[in-house]
Amino acid sequence: MMRSGSGAPAYLDYAATTPVDARVAAAMSECLTLEGVFGNPSSAHHYGRQARSLVERARAQAAALIHAPAPQLVWTSGATESNNLAILGTARAAPQRAGHIVTARTEHKSVLDACRRLEHEGFQVTYLHPDSEGLIDPAQVRQALRPDTLLVSLMQANNEIGVLQDIDAIAAICHERAVPLHVDAAQSAGKLEIDVQRSGIDLLSFTAHKIYGPKGVGALYCTNARRTQLQPLIYGGGHERGLRSGTLAVHQIVGFGVACELAAAERVADSAHAERLRTQLWQGLSAIGQALLNGHATRRVPGILNVSFGGVEGESLLMGLTELAVSTGSACNSDSDEPSYVLRALGRDTQQAQSSLRFSLGRFSREQDVALAIAAVGREVRRLRAAAP
């Protein structure tokens, strides 16, 4: 893989975003210029029909990644918009404009903020508490359901700590009670085998830039039954069968489709590679001492590792790691000085939450990146502990 320049830090932040695969970029480049397929896919002429053909091919490629019928995918700008469309669209389509939503305290901000918006509009929301390893017991979902529950929204793989929820068991409970289930799969699509029809998932969000595709494009899977009970967020033109108006970005959609096809073909190898490097990284970091693994040890998506280091402060640690590109949590919360709400929900105290780093590995990560990370973190942790009062 080409690096961004000599002396560039080792990239260990794949959970924030992935580099675009060269094969994806090549496909996208063919949809931009006069010599390529640049037309508006809503146009009836030759150029529009060319573009529409590529859009629908990409829809089939993306749908195949989650074993969904292609017509049940709606293009969006990414997982944030998909999550908002699933949650706000379901709630606002309710006949009485009132009802109950179930989610968890450790969800992505795009889910939590959408739910808080609904609370301002008169809806009620139950926020489930995970256990100390970040897991939601499916029995909690069963207990939270009410006669007026409109939707359960839970992520499959947590974006900060990587733990995996038992989506199949939760889906079975929701179907038993005839409550639709929405799954945020931004961190799991392309890394785990997902079959929305077998699992009984009603709505599922995923995005291109977590699987080596471009930023700015995602999709929402929704069953035919759910589609008729969603209110759109964007109006004007009636694109995507009325659920998402706006001219489709053909080059981004084509890139998403190719990224999904590659993810399906290379998922087993990519996951094994990321898991092997993650295991090596944890072995090295745990040897530093006072290193606490955040999240369940084995029920986790390949590639994400979140560790708290006793006796140090996370921001100071991060500032010293100039040879690494890592984060202290979700990229969506990078401007906040508050300790991670995900780690606080697990019962971590302020010091533990503030001393955490999230490492995430992917397709282009190398063993030398892991070795560099172990050495650099060890050096900075020892330096900060020695300087502490």
3-class SS of residue 204: strand
The answer to whether residues 85 and 220 touch, using CB atoms and an 8 Å cutoff, is yes
Show me where the domains of the chain are located. Answer: 10-19+267-387, 22-262
DSSP letters spanning 30-59: TTSSTTS--S-TT-SSHHHHHHHHHHHHHH
* β-pair partners for 203: 182, 222
Told to judge if 332 belongs to the known catalytic residues of this protein, a careful annotator would answer yes
C-alpha 131/C-alpha 84 separation (Å) is 26
* β-pair partners for 304: 360
The answer to whether residues 341 and 349 touch, using CB atoms and an 8 Å cutoff, is no
- Same fold? 10-19+267-387, 22-262: no
Q: What is the pLDDT along the chain (389 residues), one digit of tens a residue?
A: 445 455 799 999 999 999 999 999 999 999 999 999 999 999 999 999 999 999 999 999 999 999 999 999 999 999 999 999 999 999 999 988 889 999 999 999 999 999 999 999 999 999 999 999 999 999 999 999 999 999 999 999 999 999 999 999 999 999 999 999 999 999 999 999 999 999 999 999 999 999 999 999 999 999 999 998 999 999 998 898 889 999 999 999 999 999 999 999 999 999 999 999 999 999 999 999 999 999 999 999 999 999 999 999 878 898 999 999 999 865 555 555 678 999 999 999 988 898 999 999 999 999 999 999 999 999 999 999 998 77
Neighbours of 40 (CB within 10 A): 14
Pick the CATH number of 22-262 from 2.120.10.30, 3.40.640.10, 3.20.20.120, 3.10.50.30: 3.40.640.10
DSSP letters spanning 250-318: HHHHHHHHHHHHHHHHHHHHHHHHHHHHHHHHHHHHHTTSSEEE-S-SSSB-TTEEEEEETTS-HHHHH
Look up the pTM and report it.
0.94
Q: What CATH number belongs to 10-19+267-387?
A: 3.90.1150.10
C-alpha 173/C-alpha 298 separation (Å) is 24
From 174, 222, 260, 332, the catalytic residue: 332
